[in-house]
Structures are given as C-alpha cells and as structure tokens.
Amino acid sequence: MEIPEDAVRRVFGERAPMYATSAAHIDSQVLAKVVGLASPHPDWSVLDVATGTGHTAFALAPQVASVIGIDVTPEMLSEAERLRADRSFANVGFLLADVHHLPFDDDSFHLITCRRAAHHFSHIDQALREMKRVLRPDGRLVIDDRSVPEDDFVDDCMNALDRYHDESHVRQYRPSEWRKLLDGAGLIAEAVEPYVKHRPLTSLTDGVSPENVRRVYALLERLNASQREVLKLVEVDGQLHINHWYIMLSARKGG
C-alpha cells in the first residue's frame, strides 16, 4: 500500500513545474504574512520544511543569515534550485529530507517555516515533535496550511475534494485541532489565524486525473442549495469558484 510520502513524491514529481509559478504559492500577500509572523532577525538560521519550489525560503532569505529548504520530492527541489540560481540567493540551500526524520542536531534553527504542506504529513504529531527538536530554545515555528472551519459538513466536503485533487492528501485540520496538536508537541501557540480564499474550481482540477475530476464534479452536483452557499460555490465571470479555508499559525519553543 502506498504511504502518503510515496504519494507526495509521485504527485509532486509530476506537477513540480506547475508549482514554480502557482498563483497560490507565489501569493505575495500570504508570503508577507508568513514573514511578518516570523519576525525574522538578520542573524537567524531558518529551516523551511516541505519547501517545494522554494517560494517561502526566497521570501525569508533577504531577512536572515541562512535558509535551508527541505523536501521529499527531488523534482520539486530541482525547480527550487533553478529559481534560486535565477534570483542569485547565496544564503539559500536545499536538501532532500523528510520532516518526520530531520537530519539536523537539536536546537539548530531560530525559525522553522512550513507552508501549504502539513496536510500531507502522514504523522503530524511526529513531524511537530521533530520540528520542535531542531528549534533553538525560544525559537519560532510558523505554519501556513489548508484548513477547515469548525463545521462537520465543510470538514468532510473539503477533505474529500482535496483527496480527489491530490491523492497524497492526509487531512486539513480545524483551528481547534491545531491548538491541540501544538500543545501536544510541547509548543506554545502565539497566533492561530484562519482565513478564506475564494478560488476558481480549476484550483481543484488542474493537473488531476480525468477520473478524479469526475469525482470532484459528482460531489459538488450532490450538494443542496444551503451547502453550496456555505461553500460559496458560485460563478464568477463565467467560471465556478469555491471557498478554500486556510490557517496561519505561529508557535514558540519554550526556553
């Protein structure tokens, strides 16, 4: 049976070039919010977990001493290296590694970021413990990820849609779940900020197999009017759009 990390390598290996220019991943407002929550210092060492094609690492690079971006997908790192060369960042490096088994000593980093990736982790508790382990005392963790509100229908629906969009998907967590996860890992929550983006339905179907595209549409066709309203499933300029829920978190490792 395929484990989530194997599915990540398969799915994102095929889609890597798309993520180099993905509108959601190069969103300057969201990247600025990540940098703002991180409050980086010029002497800081930073680890960007599941860096993908490196957009978060590049956003932080001018603010810190060094950034290491890790990912489990070689093709994503190849795209990141190409973008790094284009932008001439001398203080950014990339490494093939898994968040569940970080190849770094304890207390190595002032800051860890993780953007749009935690919903892929097969063992989120272990991933958080590993990130805490390699954080320095009083170090900060900033996570930006897909999420769901405290609503059973939206939770079930959006997690199903994301599994059709991406077979490596594990779970989008509610804000209440994130608070428990951070507490369970021994991290001190500083900010838990949900937000919503109204995006084209193509964000769930681009690059997806025809079978799973049919599943996306079949699920949406079964919705009643009130459920469509909750999801804000409406046409905008002739194209279907739907709400996507996200969450921005910052947490601290105790001194």
Burial of residue 87 (number of CB atoms within 10 Å: 0-12, 13-18, 19+): exposed
Helices (H) and strands (E) in the chain, counts: 10, 8
Question: Which domains are assigned to the chain?
Answer: 4-148+168-196+246-253 (3.40.50.150)
pLDDT at 128: 98
Mean pLDDT taken over the chain: 94
Q: Say whether pTM exceeds 0.85.
A: yes
State how far the Cα of 135 lies from the Cα of 179, in Å rounded to an integer: 19
Mapping DSSP onto H, E and C, the string for 141-177 reads EEEEEEECCCCHHHHHHHHHHHHHHCCCCCCCECHHH
- With residues binned 3-state (H G I as helix, E B as strand, rest as coil), the percentages for the chain, rounded to 5, are 45, 25, 30
Q: In whole angstroms, give the CA distance from residue 57 to residue 45.
A: 11
- C-alpha dist (Å) from residue 189 to 135, 184, 195: 15, 11, 17
- % of the chain exceeding 70 in pLDDT: 98
Residue 1 banded pLDDT, cuts 50, 70, 90: low
pLDDT per position as a tens digit, 81-135: 999 999 989 999 999 999 999 999 999 999 999 999 999 999 999 999 999 999 9
| Beta strands per DSSP E along 97-238 | 109-115, 135-146, 187-200, 234-236
- DSSP bridge partners of 196: 245
C-alpha span between 80 and 86 (Å, rounded): 10
Q: 29 is written with which tokens? A: 């407002």
For 84-97, the pLDDT digits (tens) are 999 989 999 999 99
